[in-house]
Structure 1
Amino acid sequence: MEHSKDFEKRVEKKVEHYVKKVVKVIAMVILGAILFLLANYLLMWLWNWLMPEVFGLSTITYWQALGIFILAKLLFGFGGGGGKNKGKSSHKKKFKATHGCSTMRRDFDQWKHYEQFWKEEGAEAYKNYVERIKNNNHDTE
């Protein structure tokens, strides 16, 4: 007797669980449909408010707005973003210095001495360079 009551309770809980899931799925489908219809109405309202005055276009009906909405979704995508790579890092994040930047990074380490060089030799070396250019330009003229 006790065994059958436990079995009935487990079956009852499973049925209740599945009924709740089905109700949630139906509610989400209805909510999605309502949001889709509202987005379409918003598109129609915005088009009829802006386009005739800005571009001189005619107003559209609800069904024409639905067609524009579907066309825009087909042309520009349905959103959702990354697709397969949602949890994975992108190619840009995987890029490391070993893929071609290592020489630039190595050379960049040498630049830490640039300021000291400029203070000691840079200004004088630059003046000499400018004088050389002036002298070479006078020779060619």
Structure 2
Amino acid sequence: MSNYFKHKFRGKSPGEIIGMIIFGAIFITGLAILFGYIIMWLWNWLMPMIFGLPTLTFWQAAGVFILSKILLGGCNFGNDSSKKRSKSKNDKACKAEFSKWKYYDDFWKEEGNKAYEAYIERLTTKEADHD
């Protein structure tokens, strides 16, 4: 992860980095406030009418949001190394599978159309045999 940050901040002045951090903090705070108000508005609009529940204040709505993130697994607390290991194995497998696609164009130029026509021929003969 440190290489990621070194790459992202290469060539940036300390003022730019501090500005990005301040902007990020303001943006995240703004999103948190927005989510709190959206949850409060939706709750106060729907829940009292549908289920007869009381209305919420902003801070109660923010608490409901945080509680739902914790209960539904939206926050990644801790560092589960087993997940990282399995993910890296899957990433390598996906990259290996994707690396084979570089041969696709050559295959299609050389054999693709013939193979496709042979496949269609097999399908039509199978359909004719069943009829």
| 1:114 CA displacement | 2.8
Partner amino acid, structure 1, of 2:19: V
SS in 2 for 1:57: coil
2:63 to 37, 53, 67: 67
Partner residue of 1:32? 28
What pairs with 1:41-120 in structure 2 (closer than 5 Å)?
41-78=37-74, 112=123, 113-119=125-131
Tell me: CA distance 1:20–1:29, structure 2 relative to 1, closer, same or farther (3 Å).
same
| 1:116 CA displacement | 2.1
Distance of 1:90 and 1:114 partners within structure 2:
39
| 1:90 CA displacement | 9.6
Q: Which runs of 5+ in 2 are unaligned?
A: 1-11, 77-82, 98-118
Tell me: CA distance 1:59–1:30, structure 2 relative to 1, closer, same or farther (3 Å).
same
* Cα deviations by residue, 1:94-114 (Å, 9 ceiling, x for unpaired): 9x9xxxxxxxxxxxx8x7343
Aligned length: 86
TM-score, length basis structure 1: 0.48
Q: Which runs of 5+ in 1 are unaligned?
A: 1-15, 97-108, 120-141
Partner amino acid, structure 1, of 2:129: F
SS in 1 for 2:70: helix
Q: RMSD between aligned alpha carbons? A: 3.6
* Cα deviations by residue, 1:29-79 (Å, 9 ceiling, x for unpaired): 111111111111110111001111111111112221111100111122338
Which segments of structure 1 move beyond 6 Å, counting only runs of 4 or more?
none
Distance of 1:116 and 1:42 partners within structure 2:
61
SS in 1 for 2:55: coil
Tell me: CA distance 1:46–1:90, structure 2 relative to 1, closer, same or farther (3 Å).
farther
| 1:89 CA displacement | 5.5
Higher RCO, Cα 8 Å, sep 6+: 2
Q: State, as a whole percentage, how many aligned pairs show the same letter.
A: 37
